Amino acid sequence: MAKLLIKNIELLHTPNGEMQNIAVEDNKIVYVGKDVPADFAADEIVDGKGKLATAGMVNTHGHVSMTLLRSYADDMALMDWLQNKIWPIEDKMDANDIYWGAMLGIVEMLKGGTTCFADMYAFMEDVARACAETGIRANLSRGLIGVAPDKDVKLAENTVLAKNWQGYDNGRIRITYGPHAPYTCPVDYLEKVIAEAAANKAEIQMHLCETKFEVDTVVKEHGMTPIQLMDKLGMFELGTIAAHCVHLTDEDMDIMAAKHVRVAHNPQSNLKLASGIAPVAAMLNKGICVGLGTDGASSNNNLDMLEECRAAAMLHKATTFDPLVVPAKKAWEMATVDGAKTLGFADTGLLEAGQQADIVLWDMHKPYWYPRHNKLSQLVYAASSTDADTVFVAGKKVVEAGKLLTFDEEKIYAEAEACTRKLLNK
Amino acid sequence: MAKLLIKNIELLHTPNGEMQNIAVEDNKIVYVGKDVPADFAADEIVDGKGKLATAGMVNTHGHVSMTLLRSYADDMALMDWLQNKIWPIEDKMDANDIYWGAMLGIVEMLKGGTTCFADMYAFMEDVARACAETGIRANLSRGLIGVAPDKDVKLAENTVLAKNWQGYDNGRIRITYGPHAPYTCPVDYLEKVIAEAAANKAEIQMHLCETKFEVDTVVKEHGMTPIQLMDKLGMFELGTIAAHCVHLTDEDMDIMAAKHVRVAHNPQSNLKLASGIAPVAAMLNKGICVGLGTDGASSNNNLDMLEECRAAAMLHKATTFDPLVVPAKKAWEMATVDGAKTLGFADTGLLEAGQQADIVLWDMHKPYWYPRHNKLSQLVYAASSTDADTVFVAGKKVVEAGKLLTFDEEKIYAEAEACTRKLLNK
């Protein structure tokens, strides 16, 4: 068994300057506290002096390979943006593009303190390979567009993905089914997807209630909201990660709470795409599990989970005119343990014995970390994702002194840039 | 004359990889372009390879020494927060605390690409000294509370401040008068402040229309909005920087446009304090000059102008359901040249010949800067203030490789921490 000791480290809830220790065996935390277990013979010791240890952040929604389209098209109306910019270039992407786009997104996330992410896109075998190589934790689904001619091929790909990768590396990779959205998936296709997911004991991730237009369209066609429709189709019995949930009725939220639908809240994507502001305070009041996500880099335009955490902590105070809503503590839980629950990862997202050793050491020697009144509040309201100095996933050190250890960063930037130039010239 | 050449640098609007040059004489930019002026004998040459040059950002509203109260009290109701936490500790602050708090805020701003800021607080001679020593550009005012027993002493301090510092170092420091807010300044006091400012040819900075409570109170007492009241008192004839402006009527905005009131929009402070969301799209449509600000670090909790720029670009899209509102280009102008106009600095905020040499070189070798589709969009929507590598104010290099050159950073952190511990034990 590989034994790791992180010593002289500060924690969110311990007094300033009080030194703590974290002991890790293989992929799990076995001890957190002031003493070092006497019989713990560490293979590696990391000195955490001046740093703060937290659980890694969990990005509950995105399309990681869209990093290749970062700032390719901004400040446009949604349909103009999709039809004239995003969809035409996405059509040209091949497995190589998807792989290097995923690598670029993963290096950004790991270096920024995000140790786990959700994905829904194409060529997912290549995304899974990128996760395997870099060491990041992930919940992957094949994006399923039910109005596409190759809809059945896509569904079959999702099942192959599940067969190949479900539970990989002690459960570091999970596979879900990814029906894209109510407006791109007719009911008969959704029924097929649900049956196939059930047959493979997999959960679902889906865009739901992202825009008012989507909800209005579904209500007009089916006489019920997207949440009511998915409930009627039995989707929620499988376990569902619902991305966005900006436009919900009170009854929708009651259904979601009763059926344990978990929400991927993407505050910045919803702002930038002018979708609106999700009723997060109301969802939390109903007891719904809400994680946070960045969405794809073409609608964000980075994969910075600390920004999303801050946005979630700030935004809902203003829309409710209540400064007590989504306090720093809740925002941080949403960014970590609630996100892990959202993605179905057990024993993940807390810095305590028995949990997966997904750990970030934050460098606090930055101006906005002084004076040190409240580390939790400073992390959520003041710090930068670039403060992530050392990052472990499942006990493996993947970032050290801000540098990726598991892959050549320079090669990733060069290949991502090359793929993009090739795509633009296609 | 000191001559500086920044060579091999990229600009926001030039093609990727195309090398540009910036020539600076003393405090001003004299040339920007592909060639180097033949007769330009530089005393110093800075190689900008891999970096992007922009104008420095301008923070149009704040209370810089409140960095000492960063994360001291968060997630509280406004009056509970002010009465039980902020005001009692502020009462204990002395000139030494204010000085080191200002130093801490200034090092944070300069290292984050902000070259100019506005301030309204106490012991402003000590803030001015911190500006003089660090080299940052500033617009300073004495905070004037008209309901305080020492209101006339404060007003006299503001006049002494103007006499000592107005126009210091080629206009690097400007002095304004700082009546705090409509609800802390009775009309007779405001009349005195306006007369005194006029006598000293100084402008005004003031919190205006920050909360619904403030507006309701003024309307109830005076039968007119805060904007109408200040207009009636003749304040706007002097030139006014109005901070916040969250709750405005259409008529208020017409008055502001006609009287050239400049607005300091603080999106994150307004969110976190649950004040609301300012009608920025409407103000811009009316032709009102809107700059951006962080507000104090106790209500933000950092002084990161790139965050405010991003928030301004994203937030108003969602509240108007219009993705074309406040595009990246406008948000960046608000963060730079419009902010400089807001604070009354001429020839500041643009990267072109004839302008003040307030310049930031951004390190683009970060994952979120790849691939490089659109530098402006990536700066506004994806980059981090920690990417600021080298910073010049008025032609003087104040930050290099992310380190402050004009003062010992370590001393600032230690002294700020010491002041804070002393305050907490008072």
Determine whether the interchain pair A272/B384 forms a contact, defined as Cβ–Cβ distance below 8 Å: no
Q: How far is A116 from chain B (nearest CA, A)?
A: 17
* Structure confidence at residue B404 (pLDDT): 98
Strands A359-363 and A51-55: antiparallel
What residues of chain A lie within 8 A of the CB of B136, using their CB? none
Cβ–Cβ below 8 Å for A374 and B72? yes
Q: Which residue of A has its CA nearest to B273?
A: A323
CA distance B1 to B26: 6
How far is the alpha carbon of B239 from chain A, nearest alpha carbon, in Å? 30
Indicate yes or no: CB of B372 within 8 angstroms of CB of A212.
Answer: no
The string of pLDDT tens digits covering residues A164-198 is 999 999 999 999 999 999 999 999 999 999 999 99
Q: What is the pLDDT of residue B78?
A: 80
Q: Å from A408 to nearest chain B CA?
A: 12
* Tokens, residue A230: 């998915």
Please answer yes or no on whether B371 and A68 come within 8 Å at the CB atom. yes
Instruction: Tell me: is residue A222 an annotated ligand-binding position.
Output: no
Minimum-distance CB partner of A377 among B74, B323, B384: B74
Task: Choose among B274, B381, B386: nearest Cβ to A386.
Answer: B386
pLDDT of the residue at A124: 98
- Return the number of other C-beta atoms located less than 10 Å from residue A15's C-beta: 9
Chain B environment of A410 (Cβ under 8 Å): none
Cβ distance of B297 and A76 shorter than 8 Å? no
Which residues of chain B make contact with A323, given a CB cutoff of 8 A? 75-78, 81, 272-274
Q: Please state the ipTM of this predicted complex.
A: 0.97
Tokens of A402: 């801000």
Neighbours of B352 (CB within 10 A): 13
Residues of chain A positioned with their CB less than 8 A from the CB of B372: 417
Q: Flag if A372 and B72 touch (Cβ within 8 Å).
A: no
H helices present in B242-304, as ranges: 250-258, 267-272, 280-285
Q: Give the pLDDT of residue B79.
A: 83
How far B78 CA lies from chain A's nearest CA (Å)? 8
Q: How far is CA B100 from CA B89, B97, B127, in A?
A: 15, 5, 9
Say yes or no for a CB contact (<8 Å) between A75 and B274.
no
Q: Do B371 and A324 touch (CB under 8 A)?
A: no
Which chain A positions have a beta carbon within 8 Å of B327's beta carbon?
74-75
Residue of B74, B82, B378, B399 to mutate, interface with A, max A Cβ within 10 Å = B74
3-state SS, residue A263: strand
What are the structural domains of chain A?
3-56+348-407 (2.30.40.10), 57-342 (3.20.20.140)
- Return the residue of A nearest to B419 by Cα: A371
d(CA A425, CA B255): 51
- Kindly list the distances between the CA atom of residue B349 and the CA atoms of B8, B116, B180, B336, B386, in Å, as whole numbers in the listed order: 21, 9, 27, 5, 20
Angle, vertex CA A397, rays to CA A392 and CA A402, nearest 5: 85
**E strands in B79-149:** 114-121, 137-144
Please judge whether A274 and B320 are an interchain contact, meaning their C-beta atoms are less than 8 angstroms apart.
yes
Which residues are within 8 A (CB) of B341 and not within 5 positions of it... i.e. 6 or more apart? Answer: B262, B289, B291, B349
Closest CB to A317 among B271, B319, B323: B271
Q: Which two tokens stand for residue B258?
A: 């006609």
Predicted pLDDT at B100: 98
Q: Which of A322, A374, A419 sits opposite B71 (nearest CB)?
A: A374
Chain B: closest CA distance from residue A66 (Å): 11
Yes or no, beta carbons of A420 and B371 under 8 Å apart: yes
Q: How far does the CA of residue B394 sit from the closest CA of chain A (Å)?
A: 23
- According to the annotation, is A61 in a ligand binding site? yes
The answer to the question of whether B142 is labelled as a binding residue is yes
Residue B37 burial (CB count, 10 A): 13
- B-chain residues near A272 (CB < 8 A): 313-314, 317-318, 323, 381
Chain B residues inside the 8 Å CB shell of A419: 371
Using the 8-state DSSP alphabet, how is residue B56 labeled?
P
Return the DSSP state at B343: T
User: What whole-number distance in Å separates Cα of residue B27 and Cα of residue B357?
Assistant: 6
Cβ-nearest to A318 among B76, B274, B386: B274
Q: How far is A176 from chain B, CA to nearest CA, in Å?
A: 27
CB A374 to CB B81 under 8 A?
Answer: no
Q: Which of B302, B377, B412 lies closest to A301 in CB terms?
A: B377
* Angle, alpha carbons B373-B376-B378 (nearest 5°): 60
Q: Does B363 carry a binding-site annotation?
A: no
Question: Which residue among A70, A275, A365 sits closest to B373, beta carbon to beta carbon?
Answer: A70
Hey, of B301, B326, B410, which one would you mutate to test binding to chain A, going by the most A CBs within 10 A of its CB? B301
Measured between beta carbons, which residues in chain B are less than 8 angstroms from residue A108? Answer: 367-368
pLDDT in tens, chain B (426 residues): 799 999 999 999 999 999 999 999 999 999 999 998 888 999 999 999 999 999 999 999 999 999 999 999 999 888 888 899 999 999 999 999 999 999 999 999 999 999 999 999 999 999 999 999 999 999 999 999 999 999 999 999 999 999 999 999 999 999 999 999 999 999 999 999 999 999 999 999 999 999 999 999 999 999 999 999 999 999 999 999 999 999 999 999 999 999 999 999 999 999 999 999 999 999 999 999 999 999 999 989 999 999 999 999 999 999 999 999 999 999 999 999 999 999 999 999 999 999 999 999 999 999 999 999 999 999 999 999 999 999 999 999 999 999 999 999 999 999 999 999 999 998
Beta bridge partners of B177: B142, B204
DSSP A6-71: EEEEEETTSPTT--EEEEEETTEEEEEESSPPTT---SEEEE-TTEEEEEPEEE-S--GGGGGGTT
Residue B71 to residue A276, Cβ atoms within 8 A? no
Contact state of B301 with A378 under an 8 Å Cβ cutoff:
yes
B247 is in an annotated binding site: no
Spans of chain A below 50 pLDDT: none
Which residues on chain A are in Cβ contact (under 8 Å) with B302? 368, 381-383
Chain A residue numbers with beta carbons less than 8 Å from the beta carbon of B77 are: 323-324
Distance from CA of A255 to the nearest CA of B (A): 26
A350 to chain B, closest Cα gap in Å: 22
DSSP annotation of A385 reads: G
Give the pairing type, strands B204-208 and A403-404: unpaired
Signed CA dihedral, B249, B252, B256, B262: sign only: negative
What letter does residue B69 receive in the DSSP assignment?
G
CB contacts < 8 A (A, B): 207
Alpha-carbon gap: B145 to the closest alpha carbon of chain A (Å): 25
pLDDT score recorded for residue A108:
98
Q: Cβ of A381 and B300 within 8 Å? A: yes
Distance from CA of A83 to the nearest CA of B (A): 15
- Look at A323 and B384 and tell me if their CB atoms are within 8 Å: no
SS3 label, residue A233: coil
| B157 in a labelled binding site | no
